[in-house]
């Protein structure tokens, strides 16, 4: 029986730092080939991308028309979310292994005053009405968006925003009335810029593809999670949001970059992030602002890179943070075993460990590139 090396809750973990030899982790191994095949497969199905884009365009058009009829002036509908950043996942519902990919964000930026010159104080209620007009019975109001879900379970999040004096800055009015300054354009560039930089490194590994792998990994870790899973009793999704995965990957990338293989890259990233999360080290970036004054009174700080006043995890208590640390520690140890098995030519145990990380779909989609 193989040693699983699991860390018990509340037990102080040992931070393991291993120096990987580049000669050991070559791009010619079965491990690297498998991961290359899998990262290609988990990307959105190319046959579905055009269909999704057409649906999004139709939703954008209908909601804009409905808003205009109500005196709301739409000034911009920028592309947002995982599609422009190329970090999206395919949808997978087979074999009791569910990944709810293909969700699409549709930002709709409106003038802060309607065509009568009155200041707009609320958006979600208005856009819920616009959505119901074109898609009756398919609309649900969320914290910051209007979710439109189709019969095939494909969802589109319409995110209404107020325009500001800057083309690359918007204001979200949340369900509770909170106003949040954001920037669709800067969020896109935050990821795309790092992907371009990683493209300059020799080898296959790209920043956005590492985000994809970690987002897929998150889905399968959440299945067995106590605090960071889906609560069916309250219909509450407590899984870490995609933006948190984006930011943690960026934090690791900024510190460590990418290597020639996925295994080496993710082993180093997970080791680093296990230490960051377990010790509740603050996570922030200086792409669009200088070193911020960190907020107090919260368990952990992960700042929105375009708004230093927005702590992504401000509502998280120690139980959630510690469970996320458990995830990264388990992944760190698993990647070390995976690399060890690969070096020893033990393909069976290596594959078993990869399935532990990425679920049963891995073994069915790692043998050949589509």
DSSP H helical segments within the chain, as ranges? Answer: 30-42, 46-69, 82-85, 124-134, 184-199, 207-223, 242-256, 262-278, 318-343, 347-358, 361-364
pLDDT of residue 297: 94
Q: Which of 189, 211, 342 is nearest to 273 (CA)?
A: 211
In whole angstroms, what is the distance from residue 201 CA to residue 142 CA?
40
In whole angstroms, what is the distance from residue 332 CA to residue 309 CA?
31
The structure tokens listed for 222 are 């959440």
Q: Are residues 195 and 172 in the same domain?
A: no
Tell whether the torsion through CA atoms of 291, 295, 300 and 306 is positive or negative.
Answer: negative
Q: Are residues 223 and 285 in the same domain?
A: yes
Tell whether the torsion through CA atoms of 2, 5, 6 and 9 is positive or negative.
Answer: positive
- Angstrom CA distances, 356 to 151, 334, 338, stand at 32, 8, 11
pLDDT of residue 44: 87
Residue 169's domain comprises: 47-182
CATH number at residue 282: 1.10.1410
Encode the chain (370 residues) as per-residue pLDDT tens digits: 223 333 333 343 444 444 444 435 567 889 999 999 999 999 988 888 888 889 999 999 999 999 999 999 999 999 988 888 999 888 754 444 445 556 689 999 999 999 999 999 999 999 999 999 999 999 999 999 999 998 887 889 999 999 998 999 999 999 999 999 999 999 999 999 999 999 999 889 999 999 999 999 998 898 888 899 887 777 778 899 999 999 999 999 999 999 999 999 999 999 999 999 999 999 999 999 999 999 999 999 999 999 999 999 999 999 999 999 999 999 999 999 999 999 999 999 999 999 999 999 999 899 864 4
pLDDT of residue 234: 78
The structure tokens listed for 305 are 């890179």
Q: Are residues 159 and 293 in the same domain?
A: no
Question: Is pTM, for the whole model, over 0.85?
Answer: yes
Q: Which of 158, 157, 154 is nearest to 91 (CA)?
A: 154
- What's the chain's Rg over C-alpha atoms? 21
pLDDT of residue 23: 39
Q: Are residues 162 and 210 in the same domain?
A: no
CATH number at residue 80: 3.30.460.90
CA-based end-to-end distance of the chain: 34
- Cβ atoms of 107 and 146 within 8 Å: the answer is no
Q: Are residues 331 and 238 in the same domain?
A: yes
- Residue 209 within any structural domain of the chain: yes
- Residue 369 within any structural domain of the chain: no
Domain end among 182, 199, 230 = 182
- Cβ atoms of 282 and 347 within 8 Å: the answer is no
Domain count, the chain: 2
Q: Are residues 158 and 232 in the same domain?
A: no
């Amino acid at each position: 029986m193989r040693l699983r090396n699991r860390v018990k809750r509340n037990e102080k973990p040992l931070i393991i730092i291993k120096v990987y030899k580049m000669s050991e982790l070559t791009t010619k191994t079965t491990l690297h080939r498998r991961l290359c095949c899998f990262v290609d497969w988990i990307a959105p199905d190319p046959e579905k991308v055009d269909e999704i884009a057409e649906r999004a365009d139709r939703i954008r058009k209908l909601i804009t028309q409905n808003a205009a009829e109500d005196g709301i002036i739409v000034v911009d509908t920028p592309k947002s979310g995982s599609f422009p950043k190329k970090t999206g996942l395919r949808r997978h519902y087979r074999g009791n292994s569910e990944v709810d990919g293909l969700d699409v964000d549709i930002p709709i930026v409106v003038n802060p005053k309607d065509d009568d010159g009155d200041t707009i104080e609320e958006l979600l209620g208005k856009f819920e009405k616009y959505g119901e007009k074109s898609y009756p019975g398919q609309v649900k109001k969320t914290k910051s968006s209007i979710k439109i879900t189709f019969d095939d379970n494909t969802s589109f999040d319409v995110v209404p925003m107020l325009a500001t004096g800057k083309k690359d800055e918007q204001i979200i009015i949340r369900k509770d009335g909170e106003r949040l300054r954001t920037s669709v354009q800067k969020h896109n560039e935050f990821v795309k810029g790092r992907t371009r930089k990683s493209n300059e490194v020799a080898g296959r590994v790209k920043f956005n593809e590492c985000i994809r792998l970690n987002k897929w990994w998150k889905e399968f870790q959440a299945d067995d999670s106590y605090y960071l899973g889906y609560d069916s009793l309250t219909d509450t999704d407590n899984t870490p949001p995609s933006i948190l995965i984006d930011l943690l990957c960026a934090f690791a990338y900024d510190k460590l970059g990418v290597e020639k293989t996925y295994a080496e890259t993710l082993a180093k990233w997970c080791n680093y992030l296990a230490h960051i999360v377990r010790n509740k080290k603050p996570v922030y970036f200086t792409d669009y602002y200088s070193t911020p004054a960190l907020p107090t009174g919260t368990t952990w700080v992960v700042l929105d890179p375009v708004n230093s006043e927005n702590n992504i995890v401000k509502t998280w208590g120690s139980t959630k943070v510690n469970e996320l640390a458990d995830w990264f520690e388990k992944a760190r140890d698993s990647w070390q075993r995976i690399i060890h098995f690969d070096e020893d030519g033990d393909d069976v145990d290596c594959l078993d460990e990869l399935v532990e990380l990425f679920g049963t779909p891995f073994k069915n989609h790692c043998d050949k590139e589509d």
